[in-house]
Chain A
Amino acid sequence: MATYDFVFEALGLERWCASGTSTVPMSMADLMARQSGEVATTTPWNLPFPSLDALNAACPAFPQSRQVTKGLESGFLGIKDSLSIVLDPLTQPLSWMLSGALQTVLNTPWWIVIPLLLLVVQLVSRSWGLVVFVGLSISGLAFIDHYDHAMQTLAIILVCAFLCVLLGVPIGIAMSRSDTIQRMAIPVLDMLQTLPPFVYLIPLIFLFSVTEPKLYGIAIILYAIVPVIRLTNLGIRLVDKDVIEAADAFGMTDHQKLFGVQIPLALPNIMAGVNQTIMMSLAMVVIASLVSAPGLGVLVLRGIRNLELGVGLVAGLGIVLLAVILDRVSKASLARINAAQPQ
């Protein structure tokens, strides 16, 4: 006798119940309960919630909760192949870009890569102090033989952040132009931002092979693209209504308005989004080491797995250093843009 027998009796469904059994293998807990042979007496105090499992106890034909997760699993596996056919070619360029970038930084001699990086820093920030700081940091990392790992991390971040901007800015623009798109996109963005990063990895592991760079590439992009989308949308929506009105009054086309007025005026906000996107890529690239992303994260992971305290801590410090560099450089370029157009 189970608690909810009366429900099925009242509905006259005993015949149907007897006709089938839920096909899920028994859980350990069920087996133990059967083994002990105790029939729990039901009092109002331990009345079970009429859950799938409780109803199944009364009527074997009723599905168990395991079947929900199992259904999800088999459903996903069912569409996996067709999904892969679509997604694989679409995402293949990402693999190429990532492995290309990784190959390039590792096969180019350090005495080319480091000056090149410093040149970029100078061009973006126009600050010699920052150039010196970046030079010292990278040389320091190279000195303790972390150069390769640091460069791998940097390469992955730059590729992913670049793609985030490339995809995120147009999405943000689309959101700013249509309230419907904004309404639809915001829940998705909220979800991407609140899902714990590990959760992204689960379906991705099923979809792609762990050896492919695109696996972690997608995880990083999904995680890091949110701020650049949000701030592009916000930036364009915040452009002074009077200025837009003037643009209209002089007969600008939508195209002229977008590229001549809205994007330039939204640029400070867009750049703030890019800064956040870069920082979030860095956070994710460490986690992505779990699924074969190379770089400093691998060393952190080794520190945890092998209890090599020193390795983990030094790699962690290296990540902090990279974070500071990326933040300072992107903020410096943001400040330059802000200085160019104070309102």
Chain B
Amino acid sequence: MSAAANQDIETEMRDQPETAAAAPAGEVKVAIRKLFKIFGADPQGALAQVEAGMGKNELLEQHGHVLGLRDIDVDIEAGKITVIMGLSGSGKSTLIRHLNRLIEPTAGEIRVDGEDVLAYGPAQLRRLRREKMSMVFQKFALLPHRTVLENAGLALAVRGYTKQEFEDEANKWLERVGLGGNGGQYPHQLSGGMQQRVGIARALTSNAEIMLMDEAFSALDPLIRTDMQNLLLELQNELHKTVVFITHDLDEALKLADHLVILNEGYIVQQGEPQDILLHPNDDYIVDFISDINRARVLRVRSVMHKTRTTPDNCAGEVDHDDNLESVIARSQGDTAYSYKVMRDGEQIGVLDMKALVRALVPTRAAEDGLRARPGG
């Protein structure tokens, strides 16, 4: 090893783990602009074709290049959960790997806290990966020769902490994911779901401000999955991390997402507030996607109400703005003749008409100005 590289380890060694500060809402933590990724021998050459509008299949057939991502623009807000959804092969993993530069983009811009990540040298990049971002992998990617405890403490070990020093922190998070007693075992002795939870504990122990979670819950059984989702939401209330979460599961996405990004064949079909996407899908792809969902359970009162402060004539009571429609239906016992006052923090913010509620339960057709016309879409 060169002297320079050694020095560089030393300077990075003893960085203290910082607790992520609660970020003010609306602040953009990670900004992705005009991001393109093309896999193949000559990505720059193929880029011109893609910019001219060539689709994924055409590109593969005519040029032998794989279109990974096309023209991605996302603002990832601090302290929020951004969920990326899409079918298998739509580029979700590719996109999330760009955030910590495990994959280099073909073109575009990535800013974290306003800094251009693509301009980082190796030392700065390591610093970013050690302190600002932690990651949970789709395929777990635990170190097979280290114990569960050592795996959980990996991020701290990399920063130069000894086992004694990181043990408490790692054990705390292992317990939090329900693996308190497994610290001494090796990954191959655990089931897939348990290994995935070790991966989650590893990311949490790192205590980074940004958590990248690539299908972090996909190997879990439904009960533990729900537990983990609740854990994540709970942690969100405590720590306000910036989470980028990938999932196949629409229910999970709707439960977790503050901001939902839907990918198809490498481009963003629609992004926005999940309730808004449910009520106003702008593409048949999304209509298909959401057609099987139990709308009564995921839609919230606030998305269906109309804003007003007046009390309606047929008022039958008050509901909370964050209640789902199912609970309102249960309360009204199916009677559509009434309206409810919608309350937030004890203050009226709108009125929910039961007829509007029933209309909202019918899946929406794609908006006229949908993205269907887009090339490759």
Give chain A's interface residues, CB within 8 Å of chain B. Answer: 240, 242-243, 245-256, 260-261, 264-265, 340-343
CB distance from A276 to the nearest CB of B (A): 23
B126 touches A249 (CB 8 A): no
Q: Given A245-B137, A255-B1, A342-B188, are A250 and B158 also a contact pair (CB < 8 Å)?
A: yes
A250 touches B144 (CB 8 A): no
Q: For residue B100, which residues in chain A have a CB less than 8 angstroms away from its CB?
A: 249
A253 touches B135 (CB 8 A): no
Give chain B's interface residues, CB within 8 Å of chain A. Answer: 1, 5-6, 8-9, 12, 100, 102, 125-131, 133-135, 137, 139-145, 154-155, 158-159, 186, 188, 202, 206
Q: For residue A243, which residues in chain B have a CB less than 8 angstroms away from its CB?
A: 141-144
Partner of B141, one of A245, A251, A260: A245
Partner of B188, one of A245, A260, A343: A343
B144 touches A255 (CB 8 A): no
Q: Supply 17 further A-B pairs (C-beta < 8 A) apart from A242-B139, A250-B155, A253-B5.
A: A243-B142, A243-B144, A248-B129, A249-B100, A249-B129, A249-B135, A250-B154, A250-B206, A251-B12, A251-B125, A251-B130, A251-B155, A253-B12, A254-B1, A256-B158, A341-B144, A341-B186
Q: Given A245-B137, A246-B143, A265-B145, are A253 and B129 also a contact pair (CB < 8 Å)?
A: no
Q: For residue B144, which residues in chain A have a CB less than 8 angstroms away from its CB?
A: 240, 243, 265, 341-343
CB distance from B163 to the nearest CB of A (A): 13
Q: For residue A260, which residues in chain B have a CB less than 8 angstroms away from its CB?
A: 143
A251 touches B188 (CB 8 A): no
Whole-angstrom distance between the alpha carbons of A247 and B143 in the complex?
Answer: 9
Whole-angstrom distance between the alpha carbons of A169 and B153 in the complex?
Answer: 29
Q: Given A245-B137, A246-B135, are A251 and B8 also a contact pair (CB < 8 Å)?
A: no
The 3 closest A-B pairs by CB, nearest first: A251-B130, A251-B129, A246-B141
B158 touches A246 (CB 8 A): no
Number of cross-chain contacts by CB at 8 Å: 77
Q: Taking CB as reference atom, which chain A residue is nearest B156?
A: A250
Whole-angstrom distance between the alpha carbons of A248 and B1 in the complex?
Answer: 18
CB distance from B188 to the nearest CB of A (A): 6
Q: Taking CB as reference atom, which chain A residue is nearest B199?
A: A246
Q: Given A249-B102, A250-B206, are A341 and B145 also a contact pair (CB < 8 Å)?
A: yes
Whole-angstrom distance between the alpha carbons of A324 and B49 in the complex?
Answer: 64
Q: Taking CB as reference atom, which chain A residue is nearest B129?
A: A251
Q: For residue A343, which residues in chain B have a CB less than 8 angstroms away from its CB?
A: 144, 188
Q: For residue A246, which residues in chain B have a CB less than 8 angstroms away from its CB?
A: 135, 137, 141-143, 154
Partner of B9, one of A250, A255, A264, A265: A255
A252 touches B158 (CB 8 A): yes
CB distance from A254 to the nearest CB of B (A): 7
CB distance from A340 to the nearest CB of B (A): 8
Q: For residue B134, which residues in chain A have a CB less than 8 angstroms away from its CB?
A: 249-250
B8 touches A253 (CB 8 A): yes
Q: Taking CB as reference atom, which chain A residue is nearest B1?
A: A255
Whole-angstrom distance between the alpha carbons of A343 and B247 in the complex?
Answer: 27
Whole-angstrom distance between the alpha carbons of A98 and B55 in the complex?
Answer: 68
A264 touches B142 (CB 8 A): no
Q: For residue A265, which residues in chain B have a CB less than 8 angstroms away from its CB?
A: 144-145
Q: Taking CB as reference atom, which chain A residue is nearest B189?
A: A342
Most buried by B among A240, A245, A251, A264: A251
A253 touches B141 (CB 8 A): no
Partner of B102, one of A245, A254, A340, A342: A245
Q: For residue B1, which residues in chain A have a CB less than 8 angstroms away from its CB?
A: 254-255
Q: For residue A240, which residues in chain B have a CB less than 8 angstroms away from its CB?
A: 141, 144
A253 touches B9 (CB 8 A): yes
Report 27 cross-chain contacts, Cβ distance below 8 Å, ordered by A residue: A240-B141, A242-B139, A242-B140, A243-B143, A245-B102, A246-B135, A246-B154, A248-B129, A249-B135, A249-B137, A250-B129, A250-B134, A250-B135, A250-B154, A251-B126, A251-B131, A251-B158, A253-B12, A256-B158, A260-B143, A264-B145, A265-B145, A341-B144, A341-B145, A341-B186, A342-B188, A343-B188
Partner of B143, one of A248, A249, A261, A340: A261
CB distance from A341 to the nearest CB of B (A): 5
Q: Taking CB as reference atom, which chain A residue is nearest B144?
A: A343
CB distance from B200 to the nearest CB of A (A): 13
CB distance from A239 to the nearest CB of B (A): 10
CB distance from B123 to the nearest CB of A (A): 9
Most buried by A among B8, B134, B145, B155: B145
Q: Taking CB as reference atom, which chain B residue is nearest A248?
A: B102
Whole-angstrom distance between the alpha carbons of A256 and B13 in the complex?
Answer: 12
Q: Taking CB as reference atom, which chain A residue is nearest B128?
A: A251
Q: For residue B128, which residues in chain A have a CB less than 8 angstroms away from its CB?
A: 251
Whole-angstrom distance between the alpha carbons of A242 and B134 in the complex?
Answer: 15
Whole-angstrom distance between the alpha carbons of A240 and B145 in the complex?
Answer: 12
Q: Taking CB as reference atom, which chain B residue is nearest A340?
A: B145
Q: For residue A248, which residues in chain B have a CB less than 8 angstroms away from its CB?
A: 102, 129
CB distance from A177 to the nearest CB of B (A): 12
Q: For residue A264, which residues in chain B have a CB less than 8 angstroms away from its CB?
A: 145
Whole-angstrom distance between the alpha carbons of A245 and B96 in the complex?
Answer: 13
Partner of A242, one of B125, B141, B188: B141
Whole-angstrom distance between the alpha carbons of A247 and B154 in the complex?
Answer: 9
Q: For residue A255, which residues in chain B have a CB less than 8 angstroms away from its CB?
A: 1, 5-6, 9
Whole-angstrom distance between the alpha carbons of A250 and B161 in the complex?
Answer: 14
A253 touches B142 (CB 8 A): no
Most buried by B among A240, A245, A247, A264: A245
Q: For residue B154, which residues in chain A have a CB less than 8 angstroms away from its CB?
A: 246, 250
Whole-angstrom distance between the alpha carbons of A245 and B186 in the complex?
Answer: 19
Whole-angstrom distance between the alpha carbons of A139 and B97 in the complex?
Answer: 62
CB distance from A87 to the nearest CB of B (A): 28
Q: For residue B130, which residues in chain A have a CB less than 8 angstroms away from its CB?
A: 250-251
Q: For residue A342, which residues in chain B have a CB less than 8 angstroms away from its CB?
A: 144, 188
Whole-angstrom distance between the alpha carbons of A243 and B195 in the complex?
Answer: 13
Q: Taking CB as reference atom, which chain A residue is nearest B101?
A: A248
Q: For residue A249, which residues in chain B have a CB less than 8 angstroms away from its CB?
A: 100, 102, 129, 133-135, 137
Q: Taking CB as reference atom, which chain B residue is nearest A246?
A: B141
CB distance from A130 to the nearest CB of B (A): 25
Q: Taking CB as reference atom, which chain A residue is nearest B100?
A: A249
Q: Taking CB as reference atom, which chain B residue is nearest A337?
A: B145
